[in-house]
Structure 1
Amino acid sequence: MLSRILSITSMICLFASTAHSGKFTVSETPKNMGKQVNSTVNDFAPAVSPDGSYMIFNSNRNGKYQDLFISYFRDGSWSVPEALAILNSPFNDETPFISSDGRFLVFASDRDGSMELRGSEPGQVMVSFDIYWSENLNGQWTPPEPMPGQINTAHHERTPSITPDGRLYYTRWLFGDSSRTVLLEAENVDGNFVNPRPMAGPFNTGYRDVGLIPARDLKGFFFASNRADSRGMFDLYFVSFENGKYGEPVNLGDKINSTANEMYLTRADQRYYISSNRDGGIGLFDLYSAFVFAKEANFETRAIHFDYDKADIKKESYPYLDALSAFLKENSDIRLEIVGHTDLQGADEYNSKLSLERAESVKKYLTGKGLGEERFKTTGAGKTQPVVKKTGKGFDELNRRTEFRIIKDK
């Protein structure tokens, strides 16, 4: 099984989207994901698939320990979460992260087989949190295995993430001292993650920086910290990473952060997802989400749905389009080309016509919200620009999408 992890770097790079140095613009405050998703206890660390079709998170709703749960986004809403039995142990399984191609999952666990530490009492053994990985094969996750290499120790390794170029980031808590954390990075060499080292630059400077998550279409990372300018105990930050150098961390502001704790920001399909224990929640930590757009980068979505074989927009698409409208009103200098894409089924001419009609429907909706027609151009790409050159379930959904391209003045 370890041989499969050799392909992590190459597979992730194959499917990774182009990174842009666009500004991260919070378009609306996060909304509680509701009783359909959240419980009366802890729901934490949302990891969302690249296409936004499912989410994995940890919760102790089934008892004393944290388990991993999965929820699917269907017909405009999230399904009731189900425990992932193949991944869960009798102990804690937490802080999942999904790779940018959706094929690999990494998470932390103190299950049997994790590194052990002798206790202060005779015969006492304490088990640490280690990092584990699993692969999605034909829609099923494989039994987890410890991360190969030099990652796991007798201390706590948690909040792992992997970048498209195969670097591993994670947090280490010193055993018995939860106030001392270190952010580390390691590299993939022949299928083993080696040379773990504390991160330099703006990290590990006396603050508790945790949960470093790659920003999929921006050059940088999101993370949580109790830095001096945080509004609560932990706030969410963005830090740029270009040409091998980190910028100064930027607090994401009071549109997303509260006077409580916000942690573990992930993004997919122009939505961001966080964990928070802010006032007004359902449980202790709840999951929240909202729309977000990058001001200087092209983007695409599969959140706009149409009636079968028609250009009529389904009502479940309205929240996305309303958020986009609000974003465009706040940024009056942005002009967009709306490009419709179909799957590879059907005749070329028919798909080109249908994709253009759907792009026109999106334009009509946005102009109906008070945006000027001169801000939009429409194009029907049909099936000429597929994400994947395959047909069938899963592939068709990837290819059916609406793309928004920034129109730059010459």
Structure 2
Amino acid sequence: MQLGRIVKVLSWVFLVIPFLTGCWDRLEIEERAVVLAIAIDEVKPEAAKEERDVSHLSGEVPQSQKRMLRLTVQIAVPGRIPLGPAQGGGASGEKPVWILDVVGHTVEDAIYNLQQEVADRLFLGHLRVIVVNEKVARKGLQNMNDAFRRNPEIRRAAWMVISKGEAADIIKLNPELERVPALYLLTVLDGAVKQGKMPNAFLGVFWSALTSKGQEAYLPYVEIQEQKSILLAGLAYFRGDKMVGTTTPLEIGHFMAMKGINPGGYSALSDVPGESGAVLFISSDRTAKIEVEIKNGLPHAKVKVHIEGDLAEKSNAQFNLKDPKTIAKIEKRIGTKAGKAFEELIHKTQKQGSDILGIGEIVRGKHSAYWNQSIKTMDKWQETYKEIPVRAEVTISIRRVGMKAE
């Protein structure tokens, strides 16, 4: 009987011991170098002189990796990150981030070189923004995608953006509304999504499109305005992992309308047939559908879009907005102009073989027999997309004309 009690006690002891070990592998936040943002620029091969023998010996780099990249990182300084809009986490005037830059032949090569300069272990779990120079993106992001996708610390909800100028300048910017440049850029992007000015094109969405056979990827395209603010200059669209073109800011709204992404955040200034003056229409809600038919061995696509919105302003006009006929004329005029603008954007992407609308995925899903017989691969669809007829059909519904309608 006593032996049985001893066995029970020992069993409970061995059962409880694992829960008493604590965080044996803990790493305090003060012992981590928390990276908030990364900028990637291309530099001349001569920059290899700046590199030390950290991940390889001098002169022993494979010929295919002679390309040099400059990695600029923004590291949070413990105790100095602002805690709210009206207060700071550290002493006034102290910089909340530490900015360092290194060179390397690949992204991971540069990160290893950076770790050699930083005492604490680099931690990418709080990485929010990756800024890539346009020149680098046009040559291909295969190396960057491979490095970041293999790293378990990288969040799929982080943003990757393409910069018109030097990527390092974006994360070195000193904005008036935010002490931390990375958080300012993050606020710009998240705010644009909420206001309907940018699709939610974070890293996970980008990588998913890259692996698709019938759809190409896109990323936000940004540039600095007078060293004070960041402009959402459009979308950078890709063919495979290489950037091949950009849209204008207004064409972001065209793309979102054709994809049915809400809310609507863009406006259209339009004339009114038979009347003097103009009106400003602001979209609020969109619905869209892409229909595909196979005719004469080639897909024919129709993009049907319905947009609801309000009239925000009429300028230099005497016509009556209470008249249903006038409203109908405005709706038809805006719909016709929008349809032409949508088709222009589609034709622009067709020239580069960049199907960012995902028409190929619709063909692949609804006409699988045609796809398996005539397309089969992404490369084939990229060439086929250039040739297919695509029409845009847009209808407009004006819901409100404002309090002053006489």
For Structure 1 versus Structure 2, the TM-score category normalised by the shorter chain is under 0.3
TM-score (norm 1): 0.26
Which of the pair is proportionally richer in helix?
2
Which of the pair is proportionally richer in strand?
1
* More RCO (CA 8 Å, sep 6+): 1
TM-score (norm 2): 0.26
Which structure would you say has the larger Rg? 2
